Structure 1
Amino acid sequence: MSDHTNETIERQYEEYLPPIWKNLNVPIRRASGVTVEDFDGNEYLDAFSGISVTNVGHNNEAVVDAAKTQLEEFVHGCSYVHPNAPVADLAERLAGETPGDLKKTFFCNSGTEAVEGAIKLARKYTGSKEVISLEMGFHGRTLGSLALTGNRAYKNGMTPTINDVSHVEPPYGYRCPSCDGDICSVDCAENVERVIGTHTAGDLAAIVVEPVMGEGGIVVPPTGWLERVREIAHEHDALLIADEVQTGYGRTGELWAVDHFDVVPDIITQAKGIANGLPLGAFTAREEVADAFESGDHLSTFGGNPVACAAAMATIDELHDGIIDNAREQGAWLGDELAALESEFDVVGDARGLGLMRGLEIVDPAMDGPRGVAPEPDSKLAKRVADRLRDDGVVVGVGGYYSNVLRLQPPLSIERSQLERVVVGVRSALETEVDR
């Protein structure tokens, strides 16, 4: 690495709060499409999209042009003080783009804020306080959203301010002790009913789930699971909140991940891919639910920023102009290729995902895993494989509850030849690192 590259890394480690612990050590000077470039001029194929954000490609021309045009008009007016066309246009667009009868949208700046706001709205609408979320799930890092997150590693000594949260076993087929096998069934959803009966006080406001668990390791629920969770929520006069912060905007090969399961939630949270990298978050609710908020119940100074809203409109147009179709087509091909890697390498315990949201779970086949279900997770090998890929010019993520899942979430505009390079790189990295 050049002195400039090393200096950039060192300055961010030394002067940035908090200390960086998931840094890929690929400083970005510029980016375009599916590639990023460091300060030495080295190009990397980005198969992670800044954690599933640049869905229509880095520096997408239409998105950049929309943002520039709006920048020349005005940058800020606080959409909750000054009505303006960009926020009105996007709210109207989302009423038509979100599933079923979801209609009214609140705009904020991030996925975490969207989750916090959705919980407030559910509590206001139902008059209840308790919330259920999934073990191993992730919903943000503020104290409220952190209470929903089912992973101690993210909480790190914090005491969440929302105390009325219970967690239920996730539909994690590969490591599901309830199903005693590789395939979860809809019966796993009955764990939600069990938790309501044993861990709550009968004051349930909402059940919050990621339709596909991202930070949890690209966990896809079985057919019927999400439908049954919605039924259980409604049977207890609670709402179903679908956290689509990571899964939305075409990531799974449909505009929304819930579309794979034919489920219409009561509230849907959004961020990441919504504006292709500009900071914007949102939650959209049924009109009856949304109207529970009165003026002043919730507000965001920068929420609905007109530049970000203009970028979001362009992003949605780009998604519908063939990019979602590409995610579906390339994702199906990638799924087959990763399944072949699972068959080829004993250390690949499970290949899973939807669309271009894919994961490879890396394991030690010689060791039994937690509770005797599936082999031992091998986080060290997963990191070595990811590091090897980076050194070969391909950026992937590593995540999952056990930090042993290679996460492949490239821009949805990726071409087959570029995706082939990713697969070849993964195979080569596995061959190199397995016996080290």
Structure 2
Amino acid sequence: MTTTNQEQYLGPDEILRKKKEYMIPCVYHFYTEPMQLVKGEMQYLYDHTGKQYLDCFAGVSVVNCGHCHPEITKAVCDQVMTLQHTCTIYLTENIVNLAQRLSQITPGRLQKTFFCSSGTEANEGAALLASIYTGKQEFISLRQGLHGRTKLTMSLTGLSMWRTDTSPVGGISFAPNAYCFRCPYGKRHPECDLACANELETIIKTTTAGQVAAFIAEPIQGNGGIITPPPGYFKRIKEILDKYNILLIIDEIQTGFGRTGKMFGIEHYGVEPDIMTMAKALGNGTPVGAFTARPEIADTYTRPGASTLGGNPVTSAAALATLEVLTKNNLTAQAALLGEYLKQGLTELQKKHPLIGDIRGHGLMLGAEIVKPDKSPATEQLDRMLEEMKNRGFLIGKNGPDRNVMAFQPPLVISRDDLDNLLNNLADVLATMG
């Protein structure tokens, strides 16, 4: 895409004006000088002037198979032309085929699924299921975790930026996360003996009433700053949870479907969740969420339940096509290989530029924490870097509680040449930062 008729588009200034007048102001945007995106094609996005951008964020781990992948797009269009929507009160085929497919690829004994429309709903539903099964109402979450925007899921979120509810739900305790770069105990792995995981037992015994239904965690904390637990972390967590008969809910909303070089992020840790939540990449851009559980847990949810749009014929067709593309093209293995290549390139840059304080993650879910010489967050420097990279045609994410972590979560169809181009331009930008 090299030329466009700019007159057919509103343009960034008019979009910003309408946004300010008609949208709730919590809906924010990146960049001091934002562009209007009008087209996507695999790993690339295009603005209203025809400029091409390498998408290194994938809509926050959504379009793992690439923008407008032709096979997924065809499946969506074919379904829209035949049966667009009913509801789960009527029998349709796609939804049960998708549930069966998920039972084949999810870890361990996870088998039965409820479909909804978003990750927030999936986490809300998983928490409800945990309470139904256990008869308990308390929860434990991790600091810097993000689980949604409803009242309960926002209350389960351990990032102050996203906790906008002035009266959060009670009965929720927060455990320290495995943030090795800024260990709250001032220790180093493995000499630390997983002190952050061991603290979970203290929290259960001191800050709860002993009525904990579940512990919820992301295998890698996305918005929390690509916080990646060390080996053995989740096994220790699971040992403690089993001791107190507490369920483990794993939030795979950002980490799922090949993103980390495994089909699901928790597979890096050899632990079987009791309940798992999914969304984002499951539909490659169509609105779908799901939570899945072992049969003995799922079968306790017997009172009537439905999701008007969850798992409808179109989103289920999109998800089935997405899973076919992921497996047929072995994108999970590709994410592992290219992720290691990108991590090596970032490590070489780190040797020359101490502005990069830490590099972490698995597969194509990597974070580079940008810091000042005293290790404090270099938030303003990162903003300048991302603005300049955008001007050069690269869209990179940012996250973390101080918004100083550069997030690389591109479509899994990205190429090695794309990564070389990204690293070369990032080297140029880093060189201008002093």
SS at match of 1:215: coil
| 1:263 maps onto 2:267 in alignment | no
- Residue 10 of structure 2 is aligned to residue 10 of structure 1: no
2:54 to 42, 45, 57: 45
Secondary structure of 1:195's counterpart equals helix
- Superposed CA deviations along residues 199-257 of structure 1, whole A, max 9, x for unmatched, are 10100100000000100000110111111111211211110000000000111011000
Matches within 5 A, 1:112-131: 112-131=120-139
Aligned-pair distance for 1:73? 1.6
Match of 1:389 in 2: 389
The answer on 1:101 being equivalent to 2:101 is: no
Q: Which among 291, 308, 316 is matched to residue 283 of structure 1?
A: 291
| 8 Å contact from structure 1 (residues 5, 40) kept in 2 | no
Report the Cα offset of residue 420 of structure 1. 1.2
Question: Equivalents in 2 of 1:13, 1:327: separation in Å?
Answer: 38
- In the alignment, the residues of structure 2 paired with residue 423 and residue 220 of structure 1 have an alpha-carbon distance, to the nearest angstrom, of 22
Stretches of 4+ aligned residues off by more than 3 angstroms: 181-185
Secondary structure (helix, strand or coil) at the match of 1:284 reads strand
1:344 pairs with one of 330, 352, 370:
352
Equivalent position to 2:321, from 300, 305, 314: 314
TM-score, length-scaled by structure 1:
0.94
Is 1:77 matched up with 2:47? no
Q: Which amino acid aligns with 1:391?
A: N
- The alignment status of 1:377 with 2:386, answered yes or no, reads no
1:3-62 deviation per Cα after TM superposition (whole angstroms, max 9, x unaligned):
633223332343222443233423211100111111111111100001110000000011
- 1:343, distance to aligned residue in structure 2 (A): 1.8
Q: Distance in 2 between matches of 1:47 and 1:388?
A: 14
The aligned amino acid for 1:352 is R
Change in 2 beyond 3 A, CA 1:224/1:128: same
Structure 2 residue aligned with 1:371? none
**Aligned equivalents of 2:397, 2:35: Cα separation in 1:** 12
Q: Distance in 1 between matches of 2:281 and 2:215?
A: 23
Deviations 1:71-107 (A, max 9, x none): 122111112x012101011001111111111000000
Identity of aligned residues (%): 39
How far, CA to CA, are the matches of 2:124 and 2:65 in structure 1?
Answer: 27
What is the aligned counterpart of 2:167 among 137, 144, 159?
A: 159
Q: Which amino acid aligns with 1:33?
A: M
Residue 143 of structure 2 contacts residue 176 of structure 2 at CA under 8 Å; is this kept in 1? yes
Look up the match of 1:370: none
Give the equivalent residue in structure 2 for 1:175.
Answer: 182
RMSD: 1.5
Candidates 206, 212, 221, aligned match of 1:213: 221
Give the SS at the match of 2:11.
Answer: helix
Q: What amino acid maps onto 2:77 in structure 1?
A: K
1:215–1:400 CA contact under 8 A, matched in 2: yes
- What is the aligned partner in structure 2 of residue 372 from structure 1? none
Tell me the matched-pair count: 423
- Residues 60, 185 of structure 1: alpha-carbon distance in 2 compared, 3 angstrom cutoff: farther
Residue 149 (1) aligns with residue 149 (2): no
Distance in structure 2 (CA, Å) of the matches to 1:350 and 1:423? 16
> 8 Å contact 1:187–1:225 — kept in the other structure?
no
- Contact 2:154 2:165 survives alignment (8 Å): no
Q: Does 1:274 align with 2:282?
A: yes
Deviation at 1:69? 1.3
Candidates 22, 25, 28, aligned match of 1:21: 28
**How many angstroms apart in 1 are the aligned matches of 2:28 and 2:250?**
28
Structure 1 distance, partners of 2:75, 2:211, is 45
Task: Find the aligned partners of 1:247 and 1:185 in 2 and give their Cα distance.
Answer: 26
Shift of the alpha carbon at 1:157?
4.8
Matched letter for residue 56 of structure 1 = C
After superposing the two structures, state which structure 1 stretch, 302-311 or 13-22, moved more: 13-22
Aligned partners of 1:13 and 1:20 also within 8 Å? no
Alpha-carbon distance in 2 for matches of 1:13, 1:232: 48
Please give the alpha-carbon distance, in whole angstroms, between the structure 1 residues aligned to 2:398 and 2:159: 16
**Alignment CA distance shift 1:13-1:35 (3 Å):** farther
Gaps of 5+ in 1: 368-374
Equivalent AA in structure 2 for residue 22 of structure 1: H
Q: Which stretch shows the higher mean deviation, 286-295 or 6-15?
A: 6-15
1:357 aligned onto 2:368: no
TM-score (norm 2): 0.94
Distance in 1 (CA, whole Å) between partners of 2:193 and 2:153 is 28
Residue among 53, 71, 74 paired with 1:62: 71
Report the Cα distance in structure 2 between the residues aligned to 1:142 and 1:88, rounded to whole angstroms. 27
Contact 1:174 1:182 (8 Å CA) reproduced: no
**What is the identity, as a one-letter code, of the residue corresponding to 1:430?**
L
Determine the C-alpha separation between the residues in 1 that align with 2:119 and 2:343.
27
Amino acid at match of 1:194: T
Q: CA deviation at 1:153?
A: 1.5
What are the equivalent positions in structure 2 for 1:235-274 lying under 5 Å apart?
A: 235-274=243-282
Displacement, 1:185? Answer: 4.7
Within 2, Cα distance between the matches of 1:90 and 1:20?
A: 32
Paired amino acid for 2:53: Y
**2:160–2:401 contact (8 Å) kept in structure 1:** no
Q: Which runs of 5+ in 2 are unaligned?
A: 1-5
Deviation of 1:158 after TM superposition, in Å, equals 2.5
Asked if the contact 1:245/1:270 (under 8 Å) is kept, the reply is: yes
The more displaced of 416-425 and 15-24 is 15-24
Q: Which amino acid aligns with 1:39?
A: H
Match of 2:3 in 1: none
